[in-house]
Structure 1
Amino acid sequence: MATMCLLNICLVLLFSTEIYSLDCKMLHLQQNKVNMKSLELLSKMGGQFPLQCLNENRNVGFLQKVLRPTESQKENAKLIILEIFQQIFNIFSKNLTQAAWDRSFIQSFQNGLYQQIEQLEKCLHSERENEIPYLGNEKILFPLLKLKKYFERIGDFLKEKQYSLCAWETIRWEMERCLLFVDQLTERLQN
């Protein structure tokens, strides 16, 4: 039953991605839809935040403090969103044994992130064919480095807490905030 449900979710994600891949100008619509599904899956994945974890040290910082929206202008939004999705995917590919979350939700969440990463990479590749590579651009390089440091702190936090249930719940909560930040950046794509 769970396998059939997971298969249905994957097929919906696959078909919706194929439909939207026809035009990268519609990227914001696809991003909004899949991002909302990802938020829903994150919420369902663990349910209520465990009371025993309320006192957990949440010293990972907040993405909004690390990366101000002004640094994420429209031309950089896709690259920043791509980096956030790649980093979240990497975090959720680590030692999840202590998390005690529903595996089908985790897999669906990872599949959705992977689809978004692929879509963004395709659109960025087609946009950059005739442009100067962004790696030399300080306006994007600095925010990307900040993002990498932020997610390194998250990885360090998980290791320090030995991938405990409370550490994972704290990170799940923080990833919800990251996806909400992605929604703000996605709004820039449609303007």
Structure 2
Amino acid sequence: MESLALLRKMGGQFPLRCLNENRNFRFPQKALRPREFQEKNGKVVIQEILQQIFNIFNKNLTQAAWDRRSVETLQNGLHQQTEQLETCLHEKLLFSMLKLKKYFQRIRDFLKEKQYSLCAWETIRLEMGRCLLFIDQLMIRLQN
């Protein structure tokens, strides 16, 4: 996925000094994988995750030491993907959205608590990589 590659490119290696900031935000993976997962529901989940990632990377990036061009390209790509999915969807799933929104709220709370520090942003960059990998896996499941 292009977004995952851009995420990796924009920051490079995770700074060793930030290892103590690493946190488990408890991605609600089980809630997002119901047994009878319909294609429409998967698109809603993907759209919500992309929108939330876009929102997170659209605020207070002043202390993040990332390549600005890569950040802008990531933001543009996420925005385009979100809009494309939105046109496909007519109804929202309340099913898993609450857990997903709480997950992203924990991330926003962490950033605020850490005052949007460089290490906080690096921790979030790793976490968003996990989200994008989940989207990749979900898309493969939806195509099969």
> Does TM-score exceed 0.5, indicating one fold?
yes
State the partner residue of 1:92: 57
Match of 1:179 in 2: 132
| Structure 2 counterpart of 1:167 | 120
C-alpha distance in structure 1 between counterparts of 2:26 and 2:35, whole Å: 18
Cα distance in 2 for residues equivalent to 1:156 and 1:111: 24
Q: Distance in 1 between matches of 2:71 and 2:138?
A: 24
Q: Return the index of the structure with the highest Cα Rg.
A: 1
Correspondence for 1:70 = 34
CA distance, structure 2, for counterparts of residue 164 and residue 71 of structure 1 = 39
Give the C-alpha shift of residue 184 in structure 1: 1.6
Task: State the SS of the aligned residue for 1:100.
Answer: coil
CA contact (8 A) 1:98 1:163 kept: yes
1:55 Cα deviation from its structure 2 partner: 1.2
Decide whether aligned partners of structure 1 residues 46 and 147 sit closer, same or farther in structure 2, where only a CA change above 3 A counts: same
- Percent identical pairs in the alignment equals 69
1:60–1:84 Cα change, 3 Å:
same
Aligned CA distance change for structure 1 residues 71 and 178 (closer, same or farther; 3 Å): farther
State how far apart, in whole Å, the 1-side matches of 2:35 and 2:57 are. Answer: 26
Q: Which residue of 2 aligns with 1:29?
A: none
- Higher helix proportion: 1
TM-score with structure 2 length normalisation? 0.92
* 1:118 Cα offset (Å): 1.1
Out of 111, 128, 133, the residue aligned to residue 76 of structure 2 is 111
Over residues 6-48 of structure 1, what are the superposed CA-to-partner deviations in whole Å (9 max), with x where a residue is unaligned? xxxxxxxxxxxxxxxxxxxxxxxxxxxxxx1111110011100
Question: Aligned partners of 2:43, 2:119: CA distance in 1, in Å?
Answer: 32
SS in structure 1 opposite 2:52? Answer: helix
Counterpart CA distance in 2 for 1:155 and 1:100 is 18
Question: Hey, what does 2:5 align to over in structure 1?
Answer: 40
CA distance in 2, matches of 1:79, 1:62: 16
The alpha-carbon deviation at position 174 of structure 1 amounts to 0.3
| Structure 1 Cα separation of the partners of residues 113 and 88 of structure 2 | 37
> d(CA) in 1 for partners of 2:47 and 2:59?
19
CA distance in 2, matches of 1:72, 1:115: 28
Count residues in correspondence.
143
Q: Report the aligned-residue RMSD.
A: 1.6
- The code of the aligned residue for 2:26 comes to G
**Paired letter, 1:76:** N
Unaligned runs of 5+ in 1: 1-35, 129-133
Counterpart in the other structure of 1:149: 102
Q: Does 1:81 align with 2:46?
A: yes
